[in-house]
Amino acid sequence: MILSCPDRVGIVAAVSSFLAAEGGLITEANHYRDPESEWFFARQDIAANSLPYGAEELRRRFAPLAGELGLEWRVVETRVPKRVVIMVSRQAHCLADLLYRWRSGDLPCEVAAVLSNHDDLRSYVEWHGIPYHHLSVQQGDRDAHFAAVTALLAELAPDVVVLARYMQILPSFLCRAYAGRIINIHHSFLPAFAGARPYHQAAERGVKLIGATCHYVTEALDAGPIIDQDIARISHHDAVPDMVRKGKDIEKIVLARGLRFHLEDRVLIHGNKTVVFE
């Protein structure tokens, strides 16, 4: 159960009392109050076998209390894996890492398909038994490409779309249609070095740290709510190829971590920020 609302006294007590009265066993509880907005956030794991009914009945019974408290809320069944569509271009390091984690059971999801604007990674993806869709981008005709992408996503009905180094800027209508459901990995420690060629930008600036950022995609380029970030130290010895090599390791870790947080419903979006219950 995930919820948020303007903070006030008694929210935790009211929700906990309701669950206790229904026989619900809380196995994990996370709470946070944002001091600036005075907004309250909570995530609670409830053992499904502790309730005498299913998730839909829980939603029905909880709705009156949620309305009384003014909650924004949802009940998620963790036993139902989320459908993931991965979008890539030519670089395979993030895709390969995600598929390895998926095959090994580390990422609790269903990989419905991989979409790409190139055909380079078809054999690798199909070896995993995953459908591969090549939707090319003809020069000067991005509209046709994204019309095809939109139609295919509608058919695949993903819960989340992952841009695993998909080197295309999504159109605004697609960002709006999947708001809060498109995750991107950007190869810099945002907001530093947004846009193209961030490793080159970092080299020109002479920074001593490089990083990667997993964030939700919005209409503003590389400016959506941040889910996770990490960094690596570099020195004057590191040229751009060294930064790229070191950065790839960070990108893989940050994207996998951010996606896992999303799959486990540990990320609550509030404006252009996130609350992440790790």
Distance CA 68, CA 266 (A): 24
Q: CA-based angle 84:133:101, to the nearest 5?
A: 40
pTM here?
0.95
Number of domains in the chain: 2
Once rounded to an integer, what is the mean pLDDT over residues 192-206? Answer: 92
193 contacts: CB under 8 Å, gap ≥ 6:
201, 202, 205
Which pLDDT score, from 0 to 100, does residue 95 have? 98
Which pLDDT score, from 0 to 100, does residue 242 have? 95
Predicted confidence (pLDDT) at residue 136 exceeds the cutoff of 80: yes
218 shares its domain with 267: yes
- Please list the residues that pair with 161 across neighbouring strands: 85, 182
Predicted confidence (pLDDT) at residue 140 exceeds the cutoff of 80: no
8 contacts: CB under 8 Å, gap ≥ 6:
40
* Backbone φ/ψ region at 174: left (φ over 0), alpha (ψ -120 to 50), beta: alpha
Predicted confidence (pLDDT) at residue 13 exceeds the cutoff of 80: yes
C-alpha 14: how far from chain center: 30
Of 24, 43, 13, nearest to 264 (Cα)? 43
Predicted confidence (pLDDT) at residue 196 exceeds the cutoff of 90: no
69 shares its domain with 99: no
Predicted confidence (pLDDT) at residue 18 exceeds the cutoff of 90: yes
| pLDDT bucket at 141, cuts 50 / 70 / 90 | confident
59 shares its domain with 127: no
Once rounded to an integer, what is the mean pLDDT over residues 34-53? Answer: 96
Of 215, 255, 248, nearest to 232 (Cα)? 248
Tokens at 55, concatenated: 């998730």
Residues designated as active site: 222
Distance CA 89, CA 49 (A): 43
Once rounded to an integer, what is the mean pLDDT over residues 112-129? Answer: 97
Predicted confidence (pLDDT) at residue 139 exceeds the cutoff of 80: no
Tokens at 217, concatenated: 């995609």
118 shares its domain with 12: no
Which pLDDT score, from 0 to 100, does residue 138 have? 79
Q: Which helix (H) or strand (E) holds 20?
A: helix 11-22
129 shares its domain with 26: no
* CATH number of the structural domain spanning residue 33: 3.30.70.260
* CATH number of the structural domain spanning residue 144: 3.40.50.170
Q: Quick check: 255 and 98 in contact, CB under 8 A? A: yes
Predicted confidence (pLDDT) at residue 142 exceeds the cutoff of 90: no
Once rounded to an integer, what is the mean pLDDT over residues 249-276? Answer: 97
Could you report the per-residue pLDDT of 63-113, keeping only the tens digit for each? Answer: 999 999 999 999 999 989 999 999 999 999 999 999 999 999 999 999 999
Predicted confidence (pLDDT) at residue 262 exceeds the cutoff of 80: yes
61 shares its domain with 96: no
- Between helix 55-69 and helix 11-22 the angle, nearest 10°, is 150
Could you report the per-residue pLDDT of 218-261, keeping only the tens digit for each? Answer: 999 999 999 999 999 999 999 999 999 999 999 999 999 999 99
- Beta strands (DSSP E) in the chain are 2-6, 26-34, 39-46, 72-74, 82-88, 109-116, 132-134, 160-163, 182-186, 209-216, 226-233, 267-270, 273-276
63 shares its domain with 18: yes
Q: Which of 15-19, 93-97, 154-158, 166-170 has the lowest mean pLDDT?
A: 166-170
Q: Quick check: 210 and 199 in contact, CB under 8 A? A: yes
Instruction: Check residue 203 and report its DSSP letter.
Output: H
96 shares its domain with 44: no
Asked whether the CA dihedral 276, 197, 206, 192 is positive or negative, the reply is negative
Cis geometry, peptide bond prior to residue 191 (ω within 30 degrees of 0): yes
Q: CA-based angle 109:114:120, to the nearest 5?
A: 140
Quote the domain boundaries for residue 235. 82-276
Which pLDDT score, from 0 to 100, does residue 65 have? 97
107 shares its domain with 16: no
